[in-house]
Amino acid sequence: MTSLLAKYLPNVANLGWGGDTGWGTSIWQTIYMTFWPAIFGGILGLIFGVVLVITKPGGILENRFWFGFCDKVVSLFRAVPFIILLAFIAPFTQLIVGTQIGTTAALVPLSLGVFPFYARQVQVALESVNEGKIEAAEALGATNRDIIFDVYLREARSELVRVSTVTLISLVGLTAMAGAIGAGGLGNTAIAYGYNRFNNDVTIVATILVLLLVVIIQLVGDWLAQRLNHQSR
Residue 53 sits in a domain whose CATH number is 1.10.3720.10
5 domain-assigned = no
Cα–chain center distance at 190: 20
- Burial of residue 130, with CB atoms counted within 10 A of its CB: 0-12 exposed, 13-18 middle, 19 or more buried: exposed
pLDDT of 6 = 66
98 domain-assigned = yes
Structural domain for 94, as ranges: 16-231
Tens digits of residue pLDDT in 166-192:
999 999 989 888 876 678 889 888 888
96 domain-assigned = yes
Average pLDDT over residues 46-55: 96
34 domain-assigned = yes
pLDDT of 229 = 77
- Whole-model pTM above 0.75? yes
2 domain-assigned = no
7 domain-assigned = no
User: Count of domains in the chain?
Assistant: 1
* Buried residues in 13-29 as b, exposed as e (16+ CB within 10 A): bebeeeeeeebebbbeb
9 domain-assigned = no
